[in-house]
A and B are shown apart, each in its own frame.
Chain A
Amino acid sequence: MTAPDNNEGGLSVLDRPNSYIGRTVPRPNAKRLIAGRGTFVDDIKLPRMLHLAFLRSPYAHAKIEGIDSDEAKSMPGVIGVFTGKDLIDHCTSWQGVLTHLAGLKSAPQSALAVEKASWQGEAVVAVVATSRALAEDAIEHIIVDFKDLPVVLDMETALDPATPVIHPELGDNLTWTREVVGGDVEAAFSNATHIVEETFRFSRHTGVTLEPRGLVADFDPVERKMTVYHSGQAPHMMQAIFAKHVDLPEADVRVICKDIGGSFGIKVHTYGDEMATVAIAKILGRPVKFIADRVESFTADIHSRDHKVTARMAVDAEGKILGYELDDLTGVGPYSMYPRTSAIEANQVISLSGGQYDFENYRAKATVVYQNKAMMCQYRAVGHPIATAVSEGMADLAAAATGLDPLEFRRRNLVADDAYPKTSAAGAPMDDLSHHACLDKMVTMMDYDAVRADRTAARAQGKIRGIGFASFIEVGSPSPLFYGTGGARISAQDGATLRLEPQGTVTVSIGVTEQGQGTEAIIAQIAATAVGVAIENVRVKTGDTDNSPYGGGTWGSRGAGIGGEATLQAGKVLRQNILHVAGAVLQTGPDTLDILDGAVVDKQGGAERITLADLGAQVHFRTGELPNDLQPEFVATQHYRVKGQPFVLTNGIQASYLDIDPETGGVTLLKHWVVEDCGTVINPQLVDEQIRGGVVQGIGGVLFEECLYDEDGNFISATMADYLVPMAAEMPDIEIAHVETPTSTSELGAKGAGEAGTGGAPAAIMNAVNDALAPHKARVTTHPITPERVLRALGVI
């Protein structure tokens, strides 16, 4: 339940008159984006700005025996050429490890490859010129003497004694391993009526932000201050990283994130090309711009997934889950990504799998290995697409083994809505979830009986048609236990500063950032509600380390849950501050007053006493009229972090309805439904659009997107023509409903909404595909479910 606000006479602050919570209001920043007036990083032009281009390794693994750049240095417009060795003294190396992930090991990584390149696309030489085109011209004239090294590609053989070790100093290709055990799995399986087993494969895919990564680094050599305009999600984290590795005090590094053209977790990591850009700007004392082109994005952005999971589930005669075990193997490229590491996705898989179900006996093992492919790290819904697809795939197998309808199986096994707080078999704390309420709502929303009847009729006409479900949990609002505890300078806390301006408007400065989710809109809604002003009179400023309270930025579905709560608390303090001054001015008790729609009013009756504009003018310009013992404070800052829990979970259920073409193997999505519980819904439209966008990214992963490598480690689908992303024509309409169970960890009660769509969609669609294929005795458990994989399963090819 939401905690009562003492100032509202028993009413929640969310229920204040003129509350904007739960209302659809337009995003204040969307208008200019729709008019083409955004400012993305490539739109920034600074005086004397130079452009960077990189020579990248064409080999997956090669020793660098020499670099001849003499000719390039004399090319028109070229200002400088930098190799890895040139930058060693200007940018220190890093290691993607966290102390709380015991045993995680990684080799030191530099901005540019020094002794050897370890994946195709690793930056080797940087050329600075007066234009990008001239820099690229010069790259054509650089000769790098690469000597091929044996490549390690297959994660299944990466640990074999016969496989070469990528970084000999590490001893082997093992990145990290962990086992989670709960209860007595052996006993559970020995008591089972049915045991089902399956192997699932999840290919690599990547984020494909439509705006590629990029930055402009501007170093002032006189004041020794670095300003970085960055296409990123976490300005304070990057401030700390840039400062540390190019040796500047954090206070002299300013990171500004203006409009960001999509992020999805891609833009929250440390990339060598970006570090090189900052280091070179410092060396040259001039602004330097680097914008990744699309091929660079494919080969140098982080990838995600690439898991092979074998799973077993034991159920009794009634279909109750007795035990569940799984073994997850994942390949993460040649280094663990800095500073978040490449072990988190596998850790999520083993920590969260099956968490929607009520059972005691669990064993899961994660093995993370190195390979000579692009680096792997956290992308939207980290680990959840795998955890959910495996658990829900196993649930459907177990349902079939016991002769139960998939929804009946879920009803018998989902954690009861009144069972919280509880700890999952994997040891994860769970609270405020609503699996059964969501399932019931789904049955009604989709009209399950009607859809089943439609499927039967379609099958009678020869269609290969299926229905699939996925119940899921999703982590949001991560606490300091995620990264900070392990030594990373990543804030799990965010601050909001609210300021009443002389004209009665409110300015909010906040650490959480906007990449299109609508962060600025929801923060404005919360501030307007908490203070008592019209939303048109709220301005939100974010994405600038010089001007925002310290914070983590936006990732991990934390914007609403953490930034929103900080705003709510700061708004309440500001309102009290204002009422304190108003009480003195009006010679009445502050507790008899309230603020409504931009004016101080009598709490009883609502009569207007003084507008905030009049009060603002008095406080700022006619201060002499105030009592001498009254010092108005029209600025309030509050911070917020999740306490006592590692994260705030959300839950929901998705359903997919689809056809398979027996001749082409292609999947046609007929309809997709989502019931989501993200706690308090601040802006229904923005939440629904986050879910829809997330679902479609999940659809990309399960049906289309695949980073394909050949046997030499060449990335052969590294263009938008070869790497398929969802297009408008292929996507279904997505119907959404909500169950609102506010999180008891905050007053606002909002949980995250940005990732659950991506986490659940692959499972629902895979289950629908296998429901469709079941009458044909075929199954597909490799993602993406391409036409070829479907046809092979059907025995057509």
Chain B
Amino acid sequence: MDETTVISCTVNGEAVEEIVPARLNLVDFLREKLDLTGSHVGCEHGVCGACTVRLDGVIVRGCLTLAAQVNGATIETIEGVTATGEVADLQEAFLARNAAQCGFCTPGMVMSAAELLTVNPDAGRAEIRDFLSGNYCRCTGYQAIIDAVETTLAGRKNGGSTT
């Protein structure tokens, strides 16, 4: 049998305690143990960004983080940031600009873009493109995503943000 460990953590504001196999990665933990299926598995070696989640306030690859590592940590997923309304303006911009097609990369893209919105509120197009280069999208060609993030940044600068 798998070696297991017990972890306690906060996921989207809720206290969670689970027995997890030592080899289980964070995104599989979120998807399989907690049914938080908004985070997706695209490559399992840290390249595509579909599994991007927030760990103690910073985005990480859910496939390169072990569940056993998040004992005591705070985790936020697309479900969590949607529920709090933190990224409502960004999601509205994605919808208006059709910045999601198949939607498989989108949760990870939103998580990464949400970080950019806070760490670099003055980002221009080239910086947005650079920042999001760790999240692959095969459908859109990226331009609509860059537009949506640019619109959100401008909206927040103009005082439209509630965060």
Contacts and interface: CB of A to CB of B under 8 A. Distances in A.
Interface of A: 26-27, 30-31, 33-40, 42-43, 45, 76, 133, 207-212, 259-264, 293-294, 515-518, 685-686, 689, 692-697, 719-721, 725-731, 733-734
A36 B45 contact: no
14 contacts: A27-B95, A33-B103, A34-B110, A36-B37, A211-B104, A518-B101, A689-B141, A689-B144, A692-B143, A695-B141, A728-B145, A729-B129, A730-B133, A731-B142
B14 interface: no
Interface in B114-163: 125-126, 128-130, 132-133, 135-146
Given A211-B102, A697-B138, 9 more contacts: A27-B98, A30-B100, A31-B95, A45-B35, A259-B103, A689-B98, A693-B140, A720-B43, A731-B143
A720 B63 CA distance: 14
B98 A731 contact: no
B78 A35 contact: yes
Interface of B: 1-2, 21, 23, 31, 35, 37-45, 47-48, 50, 77-79, 82, 91, 94-98, 100-107, 110, 125-126, 128-130, 132-133, 135-146
B44 A210 contact: no
A40 B48 CA distance: 17
B21 A133 contact: yes
Interface centre among A42, A294, A516, A697, by most chain B C-beta atoms within 10 angstroms, is: A516
Contacts of A731: 129, 141-143
A211 to B, nearest CB: 4
A728 B142 contact: yes
A727 B133 contact: yes
A729 B130 contact: yes
B99 to A, nearest CB: 8
A36 B104 contact: no
Contacts of B47: 719-721
Contacts of B23: 133
Contact of B101 (A293, A689, A733): A689
Nearest to A736: B143
By secondary structure, the B interface counts as loop
Contacts of B107: 36
Contacts of B133: 727-730
A259 B102 CA distance: 7
B141 A210 contact: no
A726 B2 CA distance: 38
A262 B138 contact: yes
Contacts of B146: 728
Contacts of B42: 210-212, 294, 720
A516 B39 contact: no
Contact of B136 (A31, A293, A727): A727
Nearest to A293: B44
A689 B148 CA distance: 13
A36 B82 CA distance: 8
Contacts of B2: 133
A422 B104 CA distance: 43
B98 A693 contact: no
A259 B139 CA distance: 14
Contacts of B143: 692, 731, 733-734
A553 to B, nearest CB: 15
A210 B98 contact: no
Contacts of B40: 40, 42, 210-211, 261
A43 to B, nearest CB: 4
A619 B14 CA distance: 50
B110 A210 contact: no
The 10 residue pairs across chains A and B that have the minimum distance between CB atoms: A36-B38, A33-B103, A261-B104, A516-B102, A36-B78, A696-B141, A516-B101, A720-B47, A43-B37, A692-B141
Contact of B98 (A26, A209, A263, A726): A26
A695 B144 CA distance: 13
A516 B139 contact: yes
B12 to A, nearest CB: 11
B19 to A, nearest CB: 14
A434 B66 CA distance: 56
A436 B159 CA distance: 48
A729 B45 CA distance: 21
Given A210-B102, A210-B105, A262 B139 contact: yes
B98 A30 contact: yes
Interface centre among B96, B104, B125, B133, by most chain A C-beta atoms within 10 angstroms, is: B104
